[in-house]
């Protein structure tokens, strides 16, 4: 969504919630000396809560063993951001469908990716995946979908 005028607004974390974290037993043999061991599959979704002036970026990540394709772990992190004034930044297209300006979306994604990387690093300490770091992801690549509606 193009912005024709400059909008001054405040964006800050309201909450970070790990709503799901699971580690799974591996059944298949694999070479522990080959790195990287893990393949990361990520999914990003968004939810607008105009009454609270908040947007939630939900990051779901599955970790698969590269060699065996077994699922090793999964995590879902809900990053909630206060955005004020909400109605000046997040535009309602129709009931429960909103547009977020691309630069705001990129910031939400970048911050959420960094948060997920830190949480994963902490959660994976002491496991075979502790040296596999959630890869760098360019938020611009994730926000190239033309005006993705959020609900």
Mean pLDDT value of segment 52-74: 97
Integer CA distances (angstroms), 14 to 17, 53, 54, 114, 132, in order: 10, 10, 8, 16, 29
pLDDT recorded at residue 1:
46
Q: Show Cβ contacts of residue 22 under 8 Å, excluding neighbours closer than 6 positions.
A: 73, 74, 75
Q: Where are the domains of the chain?
A: 10-25+35-142
pLDDT (tens digit per residue) in 2-16 = 545 688 999 999 999
pTM of the complete model: 0.86
Tokens representing 136?
């760098």
From the candidate CATH numbers 3.30.200.20, 3.30.420.40, 3.40.50.1820, 3.10.420.10, the one assigned to the domain spanning 10-25+35-142: 3.10.420.10
Spatial distance between the Cα atoms of 3 and 123, rounded to a whole number of angstroms: 39
Alpha helices in the chain (DSSP H): 86-89, 102-123, 139-142
The per-residue pLDDT for 44 is: 93
Residue 20 above 50 pLDDT? yes
Region 6-32 average pLDDT: 95
Q: Identify the band that residue 51 occupies on the pLDDT scale cut at 50, 70 and 90.
A: very high
Q: 46 has which bridge partners?
A: 57
Of 51, 71, 46, 57, residue with least CA distance to 17: 57
Band of residue 98 on the pLDDT scale cut at 50, 70, 90: very high
């Amino acid at each position: 969504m193009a912005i024709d005028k400059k909008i001054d607004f405040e964006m800050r974390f309201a909450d970070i919630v790990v709503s799901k974290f699971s580690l799974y037993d591996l059944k298949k043999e694999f070479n522990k000396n080959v790195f990287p061991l893990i393949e990361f599959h990520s999914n990003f979704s968004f939810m607008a809560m105009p009454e609270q002036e908040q947007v939630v970026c939900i990051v779901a990540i599955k970790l698969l063993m590269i060699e065996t394709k077994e699922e090793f772990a999964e995590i879902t992190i809900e990053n909630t951001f206060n955005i004020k004034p909400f109605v000046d930044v997040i535009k309602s297209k129709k009931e429960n469908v909103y547009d977020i300006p691309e630069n705001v979306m990129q910031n939400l994604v970048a911050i959420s990716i960094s948060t997920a990387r830190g949480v994963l690093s902490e959660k994976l300490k002491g496991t075979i995946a502790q040296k596999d770091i959630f890869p760098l992801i360019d938020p611009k690549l994730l926000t190239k979908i033309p005006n993705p509606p959020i609900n």
